Structure 1
Amino acid sequence: MPTVDISTEVAVIGAGSVGIAVAYYLARKHGCRNIVIIDPRDPMSLTSAQSGENYRNWWPHPVMTAFTDDSIALLEDIASETGNRINMTRRGYALITRRSQPDDLIEDLFRGYGSEAEQLVRFHTGAGSHSMYQPPASSAWEGAPGGIDVLQDKALIRQTFPAYADDVATILHVRRAGSISGQQLGQFMLEYIKANGGRLIRGDVTAIETGSPLTLRIATPEGHKTLSAEKVVNAAGPFLKDVADMVGENLGVSCVYQQKIAFEDREGIVPRDLPFTIDLDEQTLSWTDEEREILSEDPETARLTQMMQGGIHCRPDGAEDGKWIKLGWAFNHKPSDPHGPEPIDTQFPDIVLRGASRLQPGLATYIGKLPRGAHHYGGYYAMTEENWPLIGPMRTPGMFVAGALSGFGTMAACISGELCADWMVDKPKAPYAHMLAPSRYADSNIMAELKAQASRGHL
């Protein structure tokens, strides 16, 4: 038996938004005081630092809708408690298409909102609907409308969103959606954890010995240490698989690298009151004949000359009187090894600007001319095949997981933390808890339902 340097009730591996949230709800809701968070990096400095910092309660399945609705409610509690330290806004998500009758998207709305859909989904199809629609005049989350407004009147669309291209035919305006400061959320939680007995250890977990208690071997700047813990949480983000491997488990998670750019919109192309906008439509990028020929010669770039998937993101970033904007496009589907160099693509800024300028033509001004100080960055989406998270007990006694939150880690951190904490202390849990736990893979009915889904909620 190795000499134990540190003993604790709970060890959380990973100081990202989700690991911090697990520790926070263990301390806040269940009174746990002896908690250690372990990470070789600064808190919130890896994947959590690359977040788009958005939230929404739109999902094509009622379980994920309820899951994110619950997380938003917890975010609202923190915003109220702290005088909105987390900078919560609510202008909504505007999902854009050029199709006048996007029946599949409407079906997803009704499926995702379940029995409440009839009350939540509002259609605006003619001139008489103008007075019924509330544009996002304020960024305040308190008092913002709920539900979804489906705008199918082009005059209303042009009047409300003149920055969009004229060919937009339908907008799904998800109203319980907006942005937060993920860093402020994490800092608030860390302050509470530390004030109530929790602590951070800078180190890398290199081995886990199963048993009761569990024994962790940690490489720290001061040398190797041994920690014993009654319970351990695998919240290692893109390194979930590494931690699971240490106890002989396979969580079925892959890592996909996605990129974004942020820059100062000096030309004022994107209005500061614009909702978080996603262009859902596929498109072919506008290359010159010479550019298209050069790109076609290389198998790695030839795909850029073909039809590209939809899902381009654009939103104002920072203060309402600021000028910065963010653009993203999660078109990469190739898994990467998070241990290697980041697969940053120097062509990405040009690609996303060309794609985004189809919806907001003025953005073409910046193609090849990004303002000085522009930020091009990326992060790993740790995800399951069905794009549902893993939250709950692992097979190894005393081990729990909270992860695989793909591109929705910031918005779902609170409920992920609370749900994992509830599992750990064996307290009543949300009705959907078992569907998000690793044990769902043993339930053939759940897995058949997820496999049959046409949409996995990727945006």
Structure 2
Amino acid sequence: MTQHSAEVAIIGAGIAGIATAYYLAEHHNITNVLLIEQGQPMAFTSAQSGENYRNWWPHPSMVDFTNHSIDLMEKIARDSNNRLHMNRRGYALATRRTQVDDLVEQIRYGYDNKHDDLIRFHGSSDSVSYKFAEKPDWESAPDGVDVMQNQDLIRRAFPSFSEEIQTVLHIRRGGDISGQQMGMYMLEKYRAQGGRRLTGMVKQINQQDGFELEIETGEGLTRVKAEKIVNTAGPFAGKIAEMIGETLPVYNTFQQKIAFEDVEKAIPRNLPFSIDLDEQCIDWSEDEKDWLAGDDEYKWLTEQMPGAIHCRPDGGDNGSWLKLGWAYNETPQDVAWEPVLNDQFPEIALRGAARLNPSLKAYYGKLPRNMTHYGGWYTMTEENWPLIGSMGENGAEKGAFMVAALSGFGTMAACASADLVAKWVAEDGKPKYASDFSLERYQNAPLLAELKEASKGVL
């Protein structure tokens, strides 16, 4: 039987696991690390990422956390000559509402004591200048948010938006990256410092003088002896925790997306990641609506759907593809390696997205053949905050740590998550938000009460 040893064994080589290995070496000189994954790195959940990032969250801890993650991604962009193709056109949050005090208040609260400098209002008679996102360069883009209610300005900035849109909140520190390129960059750096990989599935973890992991590989059973472990197993994080007798408050939902070639040039290539905040009923014809309403399996498609369908160009200014996503599924499911896609989802997403961008109606019933329909698992806590730190009440003493429940924000949060868990592993000083993202938060009744009333921000 083959045996390996390591100071730290990382279980899961998605973007969170790779980033953890990277920051253990980069920030703490911990290089005796073994990265364990059943298949190829970033081939499961990370491969389905929307690859977007933003610092828009309705709580200061999440804003500080994602701001730090963006800082770290920007450093990688600088160090790698922007190998991760980082751009910063922002997030455009669109609504037909004119009264948006609640949305602005969420942003104010998230920005904490910095909101006066970061929120800019553009009303019908406002003369404050608005900087168009003419270039995707992240270095020159402003921070903060532009609250736009000047209709002429909205039409000029977002010409594809429906004329029903009355308000746009343009979150400026946001955009997209190539998550795969960022992961490969970190993996290469990890390997260059002596980091190792093992391909196999963790079957059992024994706790004795650290940890002994039993790994099923293509060559048979392998044992790994590790002083410490980090659970970065994505949708399987709960199962890994159970192997050491711990229960994580997480569940999984399956969310789908589509990408297709915009042969009709329906969407401007400089459109930011755009979200329709409003609830809607899907735009079916009367005949389609009658047919769907008469079938118990599909009746729900005629009822009111949640907001937050999103659309963005894919492939940069010179590309030709679009991505659409709508995370409306809230049903917890057992994880499957090959989840079943809903054949109706492409048309559902298309018609939902056409309410914000009516030019997409050109594709009704005739989406291009050059289309990809895919999906991934969102591993979540009830409040949709991550779990980072000690895996269990005495996990730190035992040497058991985790990065879990990154749901739909794994790519954008990977760097800050990994940097934080590396501090736990190395027993280094942690930021003030560390306890908020650990299991310690479940002893903080005021915080939990606050999060129960807050938006979960699922996209």
In the superposition, the TM-score normalised over structure 1's length comes to: 0.97
Distance 2:360 2:15 in 1: 32
Letter in 2 for 1:35: V
Distance 2:387 2:199 in 1: 25
Contact 1:13 1:236 in 2 (8 A): yes
Pick from 283, 286, 290 the counterpart of residue 289 of structure 1: 286
Match of 2:408, SS state, is coil
Provide the residue aligned with 2:216 in structure 1: 219
Letter in 1 for 2:456: R
* Residue 289 of structure 1, CA deviation: 2.6
Provide the residue aligned with 1:132 in structure 2: 129
Match of 1:455, SS state, is coil
Provide the residue aligned with 1:70 in structure 2: 68
* Residue 446 of structure 1, CA deviation: 2.6
Match of 1:12, SS state, is strand
Are 1:421 and 2:422 an aligned pair?
yes
Match of 1:407, SS state, is helix
Deviations 1:195-233 (A, max 9, x none): 111111000000001132211000000000111100001
Match of 1:172, SS state, is strand
Distance 1:340 1:32 in 2: 32
Match of 1:52, SS state, is coil
| Gap regions ≥5 residues in structure 2 | none
Percent identity at matched positions?
Answer: 52
Are 1:311 and 2:308 an aligned pair?
yes
CA RMSD of aligned residues (A): 1.2
Distance 2:318 2:162 in 1: 24
Deviations 1:29-67 (A, max 9, x none): 100111001011110111101111000000000100000
Task: Tell which deviates more after alignment, 419-428 or 365-374.
Answer: 365-374
Counting only pairs closer than 5 Å after superposition, residues 53-132 of structure 1 correspond to structure 2 as 53-129=51-127, 132=129
Distance 1:446 1:122 in 2: 29
Are 1:267 and 2:264 an aligned pair?
yes
Deviations 1:375-423 (A, max 9, x none): 0000000000000000001124111010100100000000000000001
Letter in 1 for 2:57: W
Provide the residue aligned with 1:16 in structure 2: 14
Are 1:450 and 2:444 an aligned pair?
no
* Residue 107 of structure 1, CA deviation: 1.3
Provide the residue aligned with 2:364 in structure 1: 367
Are 1:377 and 2:374 an aligned pair?
yes
Distance 1:191 1:341 in 2: 28
Distance 1:216 1:119 in 2: 51
Deviations 1:58-101 (A, max 9, x none): 00001000000000000000001111011000000000000011
Are 1:244 and 2:245 an aligned pair?
no
Provide the residue aligned with 2:436 in structure 1: 435
Distance 2:25 2:202 in 1: 23
1:183–1:341 Cα change, 3 Å: closer
Contact 1:71 1:413 in 2 (8 A): yes
Counting only pairs closer than 5 Å after superposition, residues 179-218 of structure 1 correspond to structure 2 as 179-218=176-215
Distance 2:112 2:324 in 1: 31
* Residue 104 of structure 1, CA deviation: 1.5
* Residue 343 of structure 1, CA deviation: 3.0
In the superposition, the TM-score normalised over structure 2's length comes to: 0.97
- Alignment length (residue pairs): 455
| Gap regions ≥5 residues in structure 1 | none
Distance 1:177 1:158 in 2: 21
Task: Tell which deviates more after alignment, 418-427 or 438-447.
Answer: 438-447
Distance 2:449 2:101 in 1: 24
Distance 1:176 1:100 in 2: 24
Provide the residue aligned with 1:36 in structure 2: 34
Match of 1:104, SS state, is helix
Match of 1:300, SS state, is coil
Task: Tell which deviates more after alignment, 280-289 or 265-274.
Answer: 280-289
Letter in 1 for 2:172: R
Provide the residue aligned with 1:233 in structure 2: 230
Match of 2:299, SS state, is helix
Distance 2:431 2:297 in 1: 45
Distance 1:138 1:29 in 2: 33
Letter in 2 for 1:337: D
